[in-house]
Each structure stands twice: as structure tokens, then as C-alpha cells.
């Protein structure tokens, strides 16, 4: 079986400790030197960057995130031992781990670090598809001759280089396709290197269905109602049953449960959604107050869409109740838009059905699906006021461009004492 020492990149053969460097981090796999699809994920990225810059925190639990009402954006591995996870509300995290050092996120710093790492990835293969700030897939097919080494070795060198030059650690998953590479990357965290080859299906079979990306709580519940809790049971469904019971996506779900995935790596980063949300200082139940926040967020999303030359084909409203129940409601727009008014009106319609006196702690609005910016706000014969609205927005944008975002504020962005929620 092919083997690789992750410290000196030599071949340790059958030895448990590398005979060359004495290191113990050895990967072994029958397909080690033939697999080329990799998933790279930085370990507790924001927290790792902060620890790098403040070495005195190395052994302390570190949480990156905002305020007592905010959520944990990243939790270091020390904090994870206390049960803290990313996306956990900060106050809960602090209940679990009262000694944690909370650091306000510095996204510009993280983005700069991510760019350096991305540069290193792009030196390995042109086929790098970033999935988020700290995650990317790399297709290393056909690069062996260039590097003079198989993908596995190239990746091990890369992981080492990130550690020494950037000062954070990454976990690498190497497999035959994107899905298995992602699953592999998650299996050996942190500082991991996991290889999955032809054994994908048998490896997945005993796992709970939730392991599969794309199976969320709702789908898991539905599957459980059908008596399916393990991926092996999903694998066993024949095509007809899958379609009948799981609908159109049934077949692809079964294929993924078997570890099959035909997605290729695309270089252009696909922005899947543009959104903005805010957590309130104190819970809000009044419609007027919720709408004021919604309006500001609508403007934010509209601005981001315009900046990215994208448009909203639909609007997603996100709410979180005081008791942490999330509600998302979606609405498809007749025409893609970049206008805050249109986003707001659609989201307001959705909000009207939810704002029934329930106290909310968070509101958010997202644009999904996304369309190209050039398709935004086409002339509409059924909307005689359209051209006027576009002209008004263009005037506002021009003023803001010159004098700053606060130069023009729409009336509905102001709060009035009467309308206090």
C-alpha cells in the first residue's frame, strides 16, 4: 500500500514511524498516488489567525464573534473541548466556557490571510474553486508531471508550507470527487490528511444520514419517517423507489449517499447568495420596528448586489425568535432586481405573515436565487412607476458615491417615537 510521510514527504514503506525523519504522521492508502480531487479547509480559521498573532493565547479557549447577543464566528479547538461550536449564540458559548477569550472579528485581516493561502493553492493547479474564505476545492488532475510528484505529496507539502509560512493549519481531504474530498477533509480535523478512494460507499454506509452535505434537519426528519437513518439504507434504494419517495432529487441523493459526485471544479467563484442580517440589542415584536431594520438591510443587500454585479431573482426573509427558532420564508420575484424598494416590499409581504406578536431577536434578508446584474430591473410594461424609481435610486447612489452612505437616507429608515416596536 502506498504511503507518505507528511513531515518529510518521503515513502516510509510499511514502517509506523518514518525511517527518514522519525515523524509519525504517515498516510497510507491503496490509491494514494492516483487520487487528485482535494478539499482544503483551514482549521478554526479566524481563531487560528488570532492565536497566531497573540501567541500568549495559544493554550486559552478563544472565541471570535461579536457582542453578548451575537454568535460565535469561530471557536478554537481548546474552546471546542468545552462544547462550543461555530454559530452558537455567544452567551451560550460563554455559559459553556466562561474563561474563553472573546475577540471581535477583524474580517479584513482574515481576508488578507486567506488571499495568501489562496495564492499558494493557485501555485498547485489552476483549478481552484474557493467555497468560502477558509475552504476550497482543488482539482490536481494532470499536475503530476509539472510538480514531479503525485497530488498527495503536493498537498502534504502545501499543508506544511501554510503552517510554516502563514502560521495556521489546514486539513486536507483527498478523494475521487468533490463530495468525498469534502467528507475526507472533515474526518481528520484539525491538521488532518484523509484519503478516501473506492471504499467510499462502504465507508459511508454506517454513517448517519446527516453526514451527507445537503441533508439538513428537515430532510433527515423526512428520511427518518421513512425508516432511513443510515446512509447505507439510502444507498440501497432503487431508482424507482428513490424517485417515488424522495421526489426529483431522490436519485441524486442516493448517488451521493453512495459517494458519487460528478461536479467539476469551476474557477469562477459562484456567489450563491447575498444577504444581510442583524441581531437586535433587545428582542423586537412590533412590525414597524422590524420593518425599519428590514429596510436598512434591504439597502445593504441592494448595495452588495450592485457591487457584485448581481441581481436578486428572489428574496429570502430570515427571522429568529426570542426562543431561537429560525424561520426562513422565500419569495420569487417576477423580475430580477437591484432595487432596495423591491427587495423590501417582497420581504415586507413575507414579514407581515410572521409578525404576529412573536418576539424576534434577529432579522435578515437575502437575495436568492441570484441573477446577473445585467438582468436587473428590466423595463416593465405593467409597472408604469418603474422608470421613476430607477432614476430616484440612481440619484441616491450618485449622491452617496460623492458624499458617503449617510448623505441620503430614506424616510422609512428613521425611527419615530410613535412607531417604536
**Is residue 383 a contact residue for other proteins (CB under 8 A)?**
yes
Least separation, in Å, of the C-beta of 107 and other proteins? 36
Specify the stretch interacting with other proteins by CB under 8 A; choose among 90-98, 274-282, 288-296, 380-388: 380-388
Binding residues for other proteins, rule CB under 8 A, total 13
**Is residue 378 a contact residue for other proteins (CB under 8 A)?**
yes
CA angle in degrees (0–180, nearest 5) for 159-77-64 = 100
Whichever of 384 and 404 has its CB closer to other proteins, that residue is 384
Whichever of 145 and 381 has its CB closer to other proteins, that residue is 381
**Is residue 218 a contact residue for other proteins (CB under 8 A)?**
no
**Is residue 163 a contact residue for other proteins (CB under 8 A)?**
no
Give the C-alpha separation, 304 to 29, whole Å: 45
Whichever of 205 and 375 has its CB closer to other proteins, that residue is 375
Whichever of 326 and 374 has its CB closer to other proteins, that residue is 374
DSSP H helices, 247-285, are: 250-257
Specify the stretch interacting with other proteins by CB under 8 A; choose among 128-136, 148-156, 382-390, 406-414: 382-390
Give the C-alpha separation, 276 to 289, whole Å: 17
Least separation, in Å, of the C-beta of 347 and other proteins? 13
Distances (CA, A) of 347 to 182, 289, 292, 413: 34, 14, 12, 15
Residue that has been written with the C-alpha cell 429560525 in this structure: 326
Cβ atoms of 371 and 305 within 8 Å: the answer is no
| Residue tagged active-site, from 31, 50, 56, 135 | 135
Those residues whose C-beta lies under 8 Å from the C-beta of residue 229, and which sit 6 or more positions away, are 208, 209, 223
Give the C-alpha separation, 343 to 184, whole Å: 39
Rule CB under 8 A: choose which of 384, 404, 411, 417 binds other proteins.
Answer: 384
Give the C-alpha separation, 365 to 411, whole Å: 20
Whichever of 104 and 332 has its CB closer to other proteins, that residue is 332
The conformational region for residue 259 under phi > 0 = left, psi -120 to 50 = alpha, else beta, is left
- In the residue annotation, 31 being an active-site residue is answered as no
Least separation, in Å, of the C-beta of 98 and other proteins? 49
**Is residue 380 a contact residue for other proteins (CB under 8 A)?**
yes
Q: How many CB atoms lie within 10 A of CB 149?
A: 17
Residue 359, all three cell numbers: 418576539
Those residues whose C-beta lies under 8 Å from the C-beta of residue 281, and which sit 6 or more positions away, are 69
Whichever of 332 and 353 has its CB closer to other proteins, that residue is 332
Distances (CA, A) of 339 to 220, 333, 344, 395: 37, 12, 9, 13
Least separation, in Å, of the C-beta of 304 and other proteins? 24
**Is residue 411 a contact residue for other proteins (CB under 8 A)?**
no
DSSP string, 57-124: GTTS-EEEE-TTTSBEEEE-HHHHTTT--TTSBHHHHHHH-TTPEEE---HHHHHHHHHHHHHHHHTT
Specify the stretch interacting with other proteins by CB under 8 A; choose among 115-123, 232-240, 268-276, 378-386: 378-386
Whichever of 165 and 380 has its CB closer to other proteins, that residue is 380
**Is residue 391 a contact residue for other proteins (CB under 8 A)?**
no
Omega cis (within 30) before 53: no
Rule CB under 8 A: choose which of 95, 264, 326, 374 binds other proteins.
Answer: 374
Cβ atoms of 289 and 420 within 8 Å: the answer is yes
Rule CB under 8 A: choose which of 55, 98, 148, 379 binds other proteins.
Answer: 379
Least separation, in Å, of the C-beta of 340 and other proteins? 18
Give the C-alpha separation, 213 to 3, whole Å: 29
Give the C-alpha separation, 31 to 36, whole Å: 10
**Is residue 392 a contact residue for other proteins (CB under 8 A)?**
no
Specify the stretch interacting with other proteins by CB under 8 A; choose among 147-155, 159-167, 188-196, 376-384: 376-384
**Is residue 334 a contact residue for other proteins (CB under 8 A)?**
yes
Least separation, in Å, of the C-beta of 297 and other proteins? 21
Least separation, in Å, of the C-beta of 382 and other proteins? 4
**Is residue 389 a contact residue for other proteins (CB under 8 A)?**
no
Residue 181, all three cell numbers: 474530498
Window 302-331: residues binding other proteins (CB under 8 A): 331
**Is residue 217 a contact residue for other proteins (CB under 8 A)?**
no
Binding site for other proteins (CB under 8 A): 331-335, 374, 378-384
Q: Which residues are catalytic?
A: 135
Amino acid at each position: 500500500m502506498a504511503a507518505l510521510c507528511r513531515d518529510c514527504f518521503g515513502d516510509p514503506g510499511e514502517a509506523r514511524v518514518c525511517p527518514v525523519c522519525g515523524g509519525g504522521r504517515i498516510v497510507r492508502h491503496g490509491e494514494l498516488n492516483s487520487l487528485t480531487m482535494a478539499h482544503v479547509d483551514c482549521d478554526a480559521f479566524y481563531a487560528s489567525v488570532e492565536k497566531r498573532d497573540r501567541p500568549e493565547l495559544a493554550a486559552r479557549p478563544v472565541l471570535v464573534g461579536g457582542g453578548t447577543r451575537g454568535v460565535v464566528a469561530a471557536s478554537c479547538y481548546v474552546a471546542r473541548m468545552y462544547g462550543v461550536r461555530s454559530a452558537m449564540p455567544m452567551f451560550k458559548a460563554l455559559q459553556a466556557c466562561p474563561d474563553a477569550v472573546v475577540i471581535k472579528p477583524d474580517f479584513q485581516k482574515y481576508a488578507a490571510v486567506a488571499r495568501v493561502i489562496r495564492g499558494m493553492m493557485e501555485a498547485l493547479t489552476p483549478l481552484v474553486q474557493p467555497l468560502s474564505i477558509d475552504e476550497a476545492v482543488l482539482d490536481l488532475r494532470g499536475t503530476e508531471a509539472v510538480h514531479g510528484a503525485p497530488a498527495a505529496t503536493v498537498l502534504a507539502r502545501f499543508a506544511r508550507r501554510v503552517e510554516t509560512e502563514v502560521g495556521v493549519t489546514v486539513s486536507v481531504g483527498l478523494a475521487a470527487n468533490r463530495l468525498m474530498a469534502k467528507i475526507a477533509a472533515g474526518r481528520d480535523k484539525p491538521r488532518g490528511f484523509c484519503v478516501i478512494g473506492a471504499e467510499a460507499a462502504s465507508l459511508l454506509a454506517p454513517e448517519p444520514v446527516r453526514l451527507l452535505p445537503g441533508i439538513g434537519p428537515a430532510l433527515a426528519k423526512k428520511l427518518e419517517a421513512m425508516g432511513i437513518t443510515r446512509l447505507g439504507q439510502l444507498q440501497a434504494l432503487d431508482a424507482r423507489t428513490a424517485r417515488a419517495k424522495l421526489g426529483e432529487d431522490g436519485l441524486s441523493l442516493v448517488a451521493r449517499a453512495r459517494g458519487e459526485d460528478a461536479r467539476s471544479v469551476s474557477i469562477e467563484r459562484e456567489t450563491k447568495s447575498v444577504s444581510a442580517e442583524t441581531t437586535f440589542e433587545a428582542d423586537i415584536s412590533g412590525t414597524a420596528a422590524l420593518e425599519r431594520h428590514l429596510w436598512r438591510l434591504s439597502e445593504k443587500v441592494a448595495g452588495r448586489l450592485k457591487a457584485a454585479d448581481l441581481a436578486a431573482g428572489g428574496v429570502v426573509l430570515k427571522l429568529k425568535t426570542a426562543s431561537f427558532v429560525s424561520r426562513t420564508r422565500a419569495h420569487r420575484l417576477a423580475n430580477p432586481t437591484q432595487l432596495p424598494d423591491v427587495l423590501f416590499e417582497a420581504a415586507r409581504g413575507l414579514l407581515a405573515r410572521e409578525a404576529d406578536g412573536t418576539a424576534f431577536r434577529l432579522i435578515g434578508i437575502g437575495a436568492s436565487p441570484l441573477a446577473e446584474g445585467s438582468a436587473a430591473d428590466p423595463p416593465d410594461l405593467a409597472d408604469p412607476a418603474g422608470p421613476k424609481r430607477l432614476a430616484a435610486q440612481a440619484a441616491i447612489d450618485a449622491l452617496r458615491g460623492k458624499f458617503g452612505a449617510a448623505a441620503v437616507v430614506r424616510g422609512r429608515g428613521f425611527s419615530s417615537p410613535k412607531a417604536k416596536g
